[in-house]
Structure 1
Amino acid sequence: MKKTWCIGPLQIVREQRIEEDCYVVIEGKKIVRFCKKDELPEQVDFVETKTVYKMMPGMIDQHIHGIAGADVMDGTESSLNTISTSLAKFGVTAFLATTMTAAETQIEHVVKSIANTKNNVKGAKIAGIHLEGPFINPIQKGAQSDQFIIKPSVEIFDRLNVSSQSEIKLITLAAELDEGYKLATYLKNKGIVASIGHSDAKYAETKAMLEQQLIQNATHFCNGMRPIHHREPGLQVALLQSECMLEIIADGFHIHQEMIRFIYDTIGENRMILISDSMRATELADGIYDLGGQQVRVEEGLCKLVGSDALAGSTLNLNRSRKNMKEWLGLSDMTMAKLTSANSAKLLGLFGEKGSIETGKDADFYIVDENEDVVLTVSEGEIIYESSEF
């Protein structure tokens, strides 16, 4: 029998409006009703909140490597569960486990582990895999190891996808190196998101790929990309002019806040996706950490490869990112719901079930207090995080 419970009173950030002093009724994993107190069903489990609290749609982090000492590339159920439960503390209800450039055999082991662990994690749900590399441009490798970088290959990708039990939902690639656009075309026919990143593509070639709808997303926009030049605008300008989704790391290190404002003013609220790109040092002390087999120095939250100025992931979480964007750009809660949830859900084909708080959708949400801190997170009708203050 499906469990029925309700929660309220609070503000509910829905797609078209914000409900005040409202209650949500949940049956099983679904939202079934919004109502006032006098309309609540009788004899139902009740979780009482405060009217100043806000319910936001569960955040989706489509680009995350690790947190709390764990990394996707560890290839273990324990690490994936640590990532899952840690993300729940920050309002994330679903994520793409993101890999790094490595030997094909290692990536194969990792994606197998993710597929086999997917339904066993206790916190945020694994919505699939983001394959970041190995099909990238060494010129824009960033913190990816150049030892295992290879040109885009349908055959190699297909082997990895079979190993993942078809859980690869998004892949980062330097599309300019994809001869005849064979892999990008293959991905399009499979319904897998092709994300241009770690790329040195020029303006004209990027425009050509976009016109053929071979690219749907840009991996950590601005970072790991050919810079803008007035005589060769490069892929960044082409992407800004397109309908492509753009991932943004809003930690204050990867992109200047005024550059983020410029990007937002250019593309609007329906094409920006906030990501963490976080690594295992997130929530831990400064020090030296491993990322994809490379050493990273973390100082006051800034991550750089040891002996280099190359940024190496982040120590950001999506709730911190959400707070930053509200402070820097003055964005509304309804806009933030798009940047942290709806836009990614639409890109990944999940919007029928996730990405907004509406009847018939999964009960995926988080609740914040007056300070915008997460006090409760619910995924598919189950409480996956509850703060001591709740």
Structure 2
Amino acid sequence: MIIRNVRVFHEENPVHVRLESGMVMDVYPADPAVKEGMDGHGYFLVSGFTDLHVHGAGGADFSCGEAEKVIQADAMLTRLGTTSYLATTFYLPDGPNDHLNILRDLFHSGRCPGMKGIHLEGPFIAPEKRGGILPDRIAPYKRSILEDITNTCGDALKMMTIAPEIDETESIIRDMKSRDIIASFGHSNANAEETRQALEMGVDHVTHICNAMRPIHHRETGPIPEIVNSGATVQIISDGVHLAPRMVRFLASLLGYSRCVCITDGMLSTGLPDGEYVYQGKAFRAKNGEARFIHDDGLIGTNLSVREIAARFMHFTACSLEDAVRTVTENPCRVLGTHPFHDCVQPGSVADLLLVDQDLNLHHVWKDGNLVV
């Protein structure tokens, strides 16, 4: 298949792109005489977007324990332009954890082609910074629990959010690193010193910065300055609610665009109309991109695609289209270790592609070279 008359970031002039066997086979100067394939109308052809932190979509969540529902969520995310993601969920210290067995099996089967692994929020997090995580998903660190987690998830477990002030921090970080599990700082009440030590021990990623962690104080500075001064990549929910637009711009100016990873923290209502839904037995309301528990109005996530999050990031920071796209392609792919073949349009790249305009409106989606939308 040929996608003709498109722009790609590393080429000055329009190009044609040839796809074959799920790969980008060739990128060459556009020839107006060529009429074969699909006309891209001069829009930008970019890699499919990656979301490292999403709980579900299309009426299904990754914690539901039903394979067909998980596949349903995967399909919706693809239609929304999220062609790669980490299925974000929890571990129940007292069990059962059948939902993790299902996610692991789906990851290996290829029936959820967008799933690049599992991201666990907890259980080794601070109860006082649990946010929307229910109390039965939290436990103090025990090696036996970590062993059960890794035995259950196997190599599908790619990331785990931990609070570094927990006991035996160095041991758990070392264990995770030895298993190629990304240790992500989050849902933590750590002070500045505890944060600095964790970063020095090998924590190199941060779960939704500013949310579910101590704020900056002029005497006890908390974790945020330590994170900024490290080399860690940082998840940003740039919806204008979890983080105010000015805070998004401020963080981007401190971190630089190369360390910003836009994520959704998206709920099962993503891709569906505003209304009331149920997550893990608790009712929540989806409205204007926000997801809030009905009983206490607590903010639990978004109903936005990662494309919409990146578009807001671009608006809030006044960055270029290329920099905004980088926050949902190159940057998360570097975190996952799938760079460069999942985050650029060049011969040899995976043909997970989006056709977008200058404002990041979505026109078409290809998954493994097949037109989806």
TM-score (norm 1): 0.89
Equivalent residue number for residue 7 of structure 2? 11
Aligned to 1:160: 149
Against the structure 1 CA distance between its residues 180 and 321, is the aligned structure 2 distance closer, same or farther, given a 3 Å change threshold? Answer: closer
Q: Spell out the pairing of 1:1-390 with structure 2 (5 A cutoff).
A: 5-13=1-9, 17-38=10-31, 46-100=36-90, 102-106=92-96, 108-118=97-107, 125-213=114-202, 215-369=203-357, 372-383=360-371, 385-386=372-373
Q: 1:52–1:73: structure 2 CA closer, same or farther, 3 Å change rule?
A: same
Change (3 A) 1:124 1:47: farther
CA distance in 1, matches of 2:278, 2:237: 20
Q: How far, CA to CA, are the matches of 1:314 and 1:254 in structure 2? A: 9
CA distance in 2, matches of 1:285, 1:60: 23
Deviates more, 1:225-234 or 1:173-182: 173-182
Aligned-partner residue type, residue 84 of structure 1: D
Distance in 2 of aligned mates of 1:308 and 1:30: 48
Q: Which moved more, 1:160-169 or 1:189-198?
A: 160-169
Q: Are residues 372 and 212 of structure 1, via their aligned partners in 2, closer, same or farther at CA, if it must alter by over 3 Å?
A: closer
1:188 partner amino acid: K
What does the per-residue CA deviation read over 1:350-378, in whole Å, with 9 as the maximum and x for residues that have no partner? Answer: 11431222222212211124653212212
Question: How many angstroms does 1:8 deviate by?
Answer: 1.3
| Structure 2, unaligned runs of 5 or more | none
Paired with 2:43 and 2:108, the residues of 1 have a C-alpha distance of 31
Separation (CA, whole Å) in 2 of partners of 1:48 and 1:285: 31
Moved more, 179-188 or 112-121: 112-121
- Aligned letter for 1:21? P
Tell whether the 8 Å contact from 2:311 to 2:359 is kept in structure 1 after alignment: no
Relative to 1, partners in 2 of residues 1:367 and 1:119: Cα closer, same or farther, differing over 3 Å? farther
Shift of 1:37: 4.1
Alpha-carbon displacement from aligned partner over 1:272-323 (angstroms, at most 9, x marks no partner): 0000111012233444323344332334332222332431111111111122
C-alpha spacing 1:319/1:191, structure 2 compared with 1 (3 Å):
same
Deviation of residue 18 (structure 1)? 3.9
Root mean square deviation, CA, Å:
2.3
Q: Which residue identity is paired with 2:77? A: L
**SS of residue matched to 2:154:** coil
Q: Specify the code of the residue in structure 2 equivalent to 1:6.
A: I
Shift of 1:100: 3.0
Alpha carbons of structure 1 residues 239 and 163: separation in structure 2 relative to 1, 3 Å: same
Residues 8, 123 of structure 1: CA spacing in aligned structure 2 closer, same or farther, 3 A cutoff?
farther
Q: How far is the alpha carbon of 1:336 from its aligned partner?
A: 1.8
Q: Give % identity.
A: 27
- Inter-partner Cα distance in structure 1 for 2:367 and 2:108: 13
Measured in 1, the distance between the counterparts of 2:31 and 2:141 equals: 59
Q: Return the alpha-carbon distance in structure 1 between the equivalents of residues 71 and 320 of structure 2.
A: 32
| 1:134-154 per-position Cα deviation (integer Å, ceiling 9, x unaligned) | 221101010000133102333
Q: CA offset at residue 52 of structure 1?
A: 2.5
Structure-1 separation of matches of 2:280 and 2:158: 20
User: What's the offset of the Cα at 1:129?
Assistant: 0.5
Distance 1:202 1:152 in 2: 19
Q: Which moved more, 1:321-330 or 1:153-162?
A: 153-162
Q: Deviations over 1:153-188 (max 9, x none)?
A: 333223222222310001111121142421111011
Count residues in correspondence: 373
Please list every run of 5 or more consecutive structure 1 residues that lacks an aligned counterpart in the other structure: none
Aligned equivalents of 1:88, 1:275: Cα separation in 2: 15
Alpha-carbon distance in structure 1 between the residues aligned to 2:233 and 2:208: 10
Q: Secondary structure at the match of 1:362?
A: coil
What SS is found at the alignment partner of 2:63?
A: helix
Give the counterpart letter for 1:34 in structure 2. V
Question: Structure 1 residues 174, 46: closer, same or farther in 2, change over 3 A?
Answer: farther
Q: Is the CA contact 1:8–1:24 (under 8 Å) kept in the aligned structure 2? A: yes
Instruction: Supply the distance in 1 between the matched residues of 2:294 and 2:91 (Cα, whole angstroms).
Output: 18
- What secondary structure does 1:176 align onto? coil
Q: What secondary structure, in the 3-state scheme, does the structure 1 residue paired with 2:183 have?
A: strand
The aligned amino acid for 2:277 is: Y
Cα distance per residue 1:23-58 (max 9 Å; x no partner): 112231222221124599x9xx94222332111111
TM-fit CA distance, 1:96: 0.6
Structure 1 residues 183 and 140: alpha-carbon distance in aligned structure 2, compared to 1, 3 A threshold: same
- In 2: Cα distance, 1:110 partner to 1:96 partner: 14
